Amino acid sequence: MCAAATQAASIGVDGAWSYRTHRTIRQNTERRIVLPVDPLFDRLALLAQTAYARLLDQLLVSSVGDLASGVSLVSKNIRGRRYWYAQTRRTGKKVQTYVGPDSPETARLVERWRVARAEASARSELIAIARAGGAYVLPAAEARVLALLAPVFRMGGVLVGSHAFAVLGNSLGVRWREALVRTEDIDLAADAHIDVAVGRELKSVELDTLLGGAIPRIPLLHPTYPATSFQVRGTSIEVDVLTPLVGRERSRPVTIAALGAAASPLRFLDYLVEETQPGAALGGEGVLVTVPRPGRFALHKLIVASRRRPAGAAVTKARKDRAQASALIRVLAEELPGELSLAWKALAARGPSWRAAVAASVRLLEPEVAAMLRAHGVR
């Protein structure tokens, strides 16, 4: 048996992402069976899905703290006594932080670190297995930045944007087309709850320090505003900090004290981050992140697309928004239809302006995808 793939081009209402692909399977050179292949994603092998699930379980139950990510413990003998240091690299330089002298407490910390390294090695192997089965693995530089942001996720920060979309794909057992996940910006959402969490349990952080002395990007149009975007040194990666905009319109960034940074206020973001779930970012030793629920992510993308200006680069971004939404809707309609229904009920309850924003984008979707939404109550 052999297989060949063919493409039939068709320009949809949206003018993009509308080609159809079919795989032709020849049997005994006499008859052909034509199977449709979704142009937006591929299904992962069961091997990859199992590896992802095991990785997420390990990340959730791991007792590893900050020692798990890029930190090693080294000892020095000074005047006959042994002292321990935590060692890492920042902006290409080796940095050592004093831990303490050799003692029962330090010995327990060293043992915990050794366990952490063994767990990290096991997670790296699971990521390799997932990659072999087709899962999307982050570029190394992006994986390192997410690992640096691990404390932010522990205190309640939410990964949004295309990186969250990639995590959701792996969790749903699919790999999105490269054009749907390609980005170098890491979008991080934080709201007032992150300050509450820090006040109760966790220490606050300085985001630019956490990122190894990241370069603040001052807004060109508002040079007096605080930076909400930080470029990671030695890379082209930028971390953008966002926060929900509720109430009157405002453009001035909102201070997030727990992060030592400001965030850009965005309308409708509160809906996206109201309900979240844990996810595993594949790369390095794996990073436990928090991402939005997939149904809310899909509907929020439709809202965002409807609010972009119909000119310039915004047109391309709106197409990508709708393509990401369409891909999620196709998967959820088959695998988790209740996810779409729940997401729509929560959105519809917020009022007619929210429903109208979704409807404006639904009209531009392929008829098949729009029908899937209607079947789950989306109007």
Q: What pLDDT digit, counting tens, does each position of 271-317 carry?
A: 999 999 999 999 999 999 999 999 999 999 999 999 998 888 889 99
**Residue 288: in which H helix or E strand, if any?**
strand 287-292
Mean pLDDT (whole number) for 6-18: 39
Give the residue from 181, 173, 192 showing the smallest Cα distance to 254: 192
pLDDT of residue 20 exceeding 80, the answer is no
Nearest to 315 by CA among 14, 11, 39, 9: 14
- How sure is the predictor about 34, in pLDDT bands with cuts at 50, 70 and 90? very low
Residue 141's pLDDT is 93
Choose the weakest-confidence range: 22-26, 66-70, 311-315: 22-26
Q: List Cα–Cα distances, 177 to 35, 40, 180, 217, 281, in angstroms.
A: 19, 5, 6, 30, 17
Residues pairing with 242 in the sheet: 189, 264
The pLDDT assigned to 65 comes to 43
CB 127 within 8 Å of CB 48: no
300: which 2 tokens?
């929020």
Distances (CA, A) of 353 to 53, 345, 346, 358: 38, 14, 13, 9
**What pLDDT is recorded for position 165?**
98
Global pTM reads 0.80
Look at residue 82 and tell me whether its pLDDT is greater than 50: yes
Average pLDDT over residues 163-189: 95
- The helix-helix angle for 161-172 and 294-307 (nearest 10°) equals 140
Higher local confidence (pLDDT), 79 or 298: 298
**pLDDT tens digit string along 88-117?**
766 567 777 777 778 887 787 777 777 777
